[in-house]
Chains A and B, each alone.
Chain A
């Protein structure tokens, strides 16, 4: 299956700071990346979709100015949580589409804002 690298795996930051999460597809090119968020004991919720060469699309209720998404190349997509607050503490995970071949997730990033 596809190999997806996401880092950092875990980050603790102070309230008001920004955190960048990177997701790289290592053995294939991804023109699109789906970013999900998972709060404790809940399911995965789609936040936004990054698109190489164009603006990201955000799901309803997700603040585009707070969650900055950039698809810099065919192998790299980044999510930046700006001015993080404790309520942003969550598990963030990327998922490139693999057209029906298993949809392999990145390893996820556990963000804790203190």
Chain B
């Protein structure tokens, strides 16, 4: 199952610092994971993904780490900027292929200028 329906936890970070957002996923069989960013009033925007055969993947200013042993996913944002303020969701694909994503509860990131 997924952890949904709860109020969002908040992470406050000083501008320029690094942010780490964590996510615990539920299904050990999940083989594909995505981080999304959602700004107020908008749909989720793809940030970065990772497959289960990897434990780290880097993008522009973002890094995703996957620990399958403890079913944990994290998103690291380097040099956090005010424009990074948003809600971040992790999502897992419980089965390869044509199946819906299961979303984590989300974390609100607030960047303090």
Contact = CB atoms under 8 A, between A and B. Distances in A.
B89 A43 contact: yes
B101 A100 contact: no
Contacts of B51: 100
Contact of A104 (B2, B7, B46): B46
Contacts of A24: none
A98 to B, nearest CB: 10
Given A32-B98, A99-B97, A41 B7 contact: yes
Q: Helix, strand, loop or mixed for chain A's interface?
A: loop
Contacts of B36: 105
A107 interface: yes
Interface stretch (A13-21, A44-52, A67-75, A80-88): A44-52
B5 A42 contact: yes
B70 interface: no
Which of A6, A107, A108 counts the most B-chain CB atoms under 10 A from its CB? A108
Contacts of B96: 100
A95 interface: yes
User: How extensive is the interface on chain B, given as a class?
Assistant: 20 to 34
Q: Helix, strand, loop or mixed for chain B's interface?
A: loop
A28 to B, nearest CB: 13
User: How extensive is the interface on chain A, given as a class?
Assistant: 20 to 34
Nearest to A49: B100
B100 A43 contact: no
A95 B42 CA distance: 14
B34 A102 contact: yes
A44 B42 CA distance: 13
A42 B42 contact: no
B23 to A, nearest CB: 11
Contacts of B25: none
A5 to B, nearest CB: 12
Which of B36, B100, B102 counts the most A-chain CB atoms under 10 A from its CB? B100
B4 A42 contact: yes
19 contacts: A6-B43, A31-B98, A34-B101, A42-B7, A43-B2, A43-B5, A43-B104, A43-B105, A44-B4, A45-B5, A46-B102, A95-B100, A97-B98, A97-B99, A100-B96, A107-B42, A107-B43, A108-B43, A110-B41
